[in-house]
Amino acid sequence: MRRVAMFCVAFLLVCGCSSVTAQAPAAPPVVRVWPPFDSKRARPDRGLIVRAQGGTLSQVLVYQDGEPVPGRLDASRTTWRTSWTLKPATEYTVTATATREGAPATVAMGRIRTRAVSSTFHVARTTPLPGETVGVGMPIILEFDTPVRDRAAVEEALEVRAAAPVEGAWRWLDDTRVVYRPRRFWTPRQQVTVTAHLAGVRAGDGLYGGTDTTFAFTVGRKQTSTIDTRTHQMVVYRDGKVAQRMAISAGMATTVEYTTTSGWHLTMDKGHPVRMISPGREKGDPGYYDLMIDHAVRISDSGEYVHAKDNVWAQGRVNVSHGCVNARPDQAAWFYETSLRGDPVLITGTDRPLEWHNGWGYWQLPWEKWRQGSALPRTVAVRGVVPRG
């Protein structure tokens, strides 16, 4: 019994001399927010960025006036940034959570406020109109109320959402107008939503976007027309099938202005009736006219229409108009009633090409040339959302 007791003591002594090292917990991650919390005059054009050091971001919530602010997390899940610029003179609340294995989570909460701006610009007019149903060739045109100097910054803030995938690009006509055109005609029967995320965008020295603008339109059925001025025939196709054949008379071509332009036109607007006055002529001059014309559908800015005319004797036989496309009154009325703005009309057979900037002759430009009018070095591929950057 004594030997057993001594062994037990020895065992206890050995065990008591051994040490057990406890592993220290990992340091918690650090969350950094830019602009810093409690900023009162943050620049709206630089957006908001949240970064995690020593961990990853598991959640970022940013709100403005109770509404969530959209943003994106990078592939490493260490950087989150707002999708668009911030609104001027606005308060934002931020809650960001960062985690790291073996360490407690870090939660950062705070507020920032953007500075007020003295000069703003806005979208003054949109084409199409909100809620309008249009043809498959319809462009998107935005007009601003103030000239834009930084076109790239503004163009990057323009978002197009389409139900069907489409490739497209913006082209600047001047400092106040920019046009979006898909590479190919829109897929029919779908809704398209356009958002100009302009609030906080810096468009020039001291000039910032004042508000965002959003509108939606519907692409209707696919209707296209072909007009051959040599055979004096017009064919209207609806969803790939012939909907109407029309004998027509085009421009007499005795002068440039009386020559119908060849190329891809779009129906732009229509009137019943429309007053038409001879260009560059005074009353009493040879060739002067001042007429009220029924069922007129405009296809260019140089005075070209598809319209009704009772010169049925010429239709299908000879070109006698002042540049417009004349059709039988009942058929012109049918075309008038069935046309949507943005329906493509292809005219062939004359030696006067339609200029791409004459009306909505945008489809006259090959795709690569169209892209050259963009302020950004890439095509915008729309698959639900236009990517930025």
In tens, the pLDDT along 136-145 reads: 999 999 999 9
Q: For residue 273, say if its preceding peptide bond is cis, omega within 30 degrees of 0.
A: yes
End-to-end alpha-carbon separation of the chain, Å? 85
CATH class (in words) of the domain with range 119-221+369-382: mainly beta
pLDDT band at 21 (very low <50, low <70, confident <90, very high): low
Q: With beta carbons less than 8 A apart as the criterion, state whether 236 and 223 touch.
A: yes
Whether the predicted pLDDT of 184 surpasses 80: yes
* 338 CA to centre of own chain: 27
Mean pLDDT on 340-365: 98
How confident is the model over 350-355, as a mean pLDDT?
97
82 vs 12: which has the higher pLDDT: 82
Q: What is the rounded distance in angstroms from the CA atom of residue 45 to the CA atom of residue 115?
A: 10
d(CA 122, CA 53): 39
The per-residue pLDDT for 97 is: 97
Position 83 pLDDT exceeds 90: yes
What sign for the dihedral angle of Cα 121, 124, 129, 131? positive
Is residue 14 scored above 70 in pLDDT? no
Same fold, 30-113 and 119-221+369-382: yes
Give the span between the Cα atoms of 251 and 300, in whole angstroms: 14
* pLDDT score recorded for residue 377: 78
Provide mean pLDDT across the span 182-190: 97
| Whether residue 134 has pLDDT greater than 70 | yes
pLDDT in tens, 305-343: 999 999 999 999 999 999 999 999 999 999 999 999 999
Residue 32 has pLDDT above 70, yes or no: yes
CATH fold, domain 30-113, is Immunoglobulin-like (2.60.40)
Least confident piece of the model among 53-67, 159-173, 283-297: 283-297
Question: Domain residue spans in the chain?
Answer: 30-113, 119-221+369-382, 223-354
**What's the length of the chain?**
389
Q: How do residues 197-246 score in pLDDT, each as one tens digit? A: 999 999 999 999 999 999 999 999 999 999 999 999 999 999 999 999 99
Instruction: Fill in the DSSP letter of residue 86.
Output: P
Question: Topology of 223-354 in CATH?
Answer: L,D-transpeptidase catalytic domain-like (2.40.440)
Asked, as a colleague might, if the bond just before 35 is cis with ω within 30 of 0, I would say yes
Q: What is the pLDDT of residues 271-295, one digit of tens each?
A: 999 999 887 787 878 778 888 999 9
Put simply, whether the predicted model's pTM sits higher than 0.85 gets the answer yes
Q: Which of 156-165, 179-188, 285-294, 342-351 has the lowest mean pLDDT?
A: 285-294
Active site residues: 307, 324
